[in-house]
Amino acid sequence: MLEFGVSGKLINNALVMYDRETRSLWSQFLSFSVQGEFEGTPLEPAPLILTTWKEWTTQHPDTVALRKPSSSSRDAYEGYYASNDAGVIGEKVSDDRLPRKELVLGLGFDDGPKAFPHSELRDARVVNDVVAGKKTVVFYQTESETALAYGREADGQELTFSLETSDGREWLVDEETGSRWLPFTGQAVEGPLVGESLERLHAVNVFWFAWTDFYPDTDVFGIS
């Protein structure tokens, strides 16, 4: 077991960690060690959700949060988000298919990268696709600007999803069986596939300029 800290170094404007046991350096974006005793060793990705505190506590009402004391409620990065600057060291690849700081959901990585811009997902809401050979469904919740990706196979069959609103909440519904799935967990709670779960896919919400620096040949959903 390793304990990690922030090295203060960057690779393409992305965080580089170090482990306190061997002082090896690890790329947060690439998910493997780039220098030291563990060079080349991958980390096991843990799927995460970028969402609002309101939505998170709606899904997980018993959450305990660690909050650093501060005399100000202002976000220290507010100016950075609003500017068009490409990080500390600037962008390596200039790609005008999207605004520099457009948020994208990136997945596929080295097997066939594809970016799903939040601006496109706001209209699509649910996208059935194949990314890096993996049958994939991407869900987007507009209110919280949350984007999630799942494999769209369950119980040995390929599924095609759409969005349905009923009982005051949103559901993913597959066309093949009519089962209802919770968008934030990928679990089927009604219908023939009740009890089945979709596989959460490794994906990152990231600025466009950061994604293209690592994956300049990326495909982009909604843009030819």
Q: Can you give the pLDDT at residue 2? A: 94
Q: Can you give the pLDDT at residue 92? A: 79
Q: Can you give the pLDDT at residue 118? A: 97
Q: Can you give the pLDDT at residue 208? A: 94
Q: How far apart are alpha carbons 5 and 19 in whole angstroms?
A: 6
Name every residue whose Cβ is closer than 8 Å to that of residue 119 and which is 6 or more positions away in sequence. Answer: 98, 102
User: Which amino acid type is present at position 89?
Assistant: I
3-state secondary structure 15-45: EEEEECCCCCEEECCCCEEEECCCCCCECCC
Query: How high is the mean pLDDT in each 10-residue block of the chain (224 residues)?
Result: 94 91 94 96 91 92 84 72 72 87 94 97 97 97 96 97 92 97 96 97 94 94 88
Q: Are 164 and 171 in contact (CB under 8 A)?
A: yes
The string of DSSP codes covering 53-111 is HHHHHHH-TT--------S--S-TTHHHHHS---TTT--SS--TTS-TT-EEEEE-GGG
Q: Can you give the pLDDT at residue 134? A: 96
Considering the domain 103-220, what is its CATH architecture?
Answer: 3-layer Sandwich (2.102)
| The model scores a pTM over 0.85 | yes
Q: Can you give the pLDDT at residue 71? A: 66
Q: Can you give the pLDDT at residue 88? A: 67
CATH 2.102.10 residue ranges for the chain: 103-220
Q: Can you give the pLDDT at residue 87? A: 67
| Residue 202 CB-half CA count within 13 A | 14
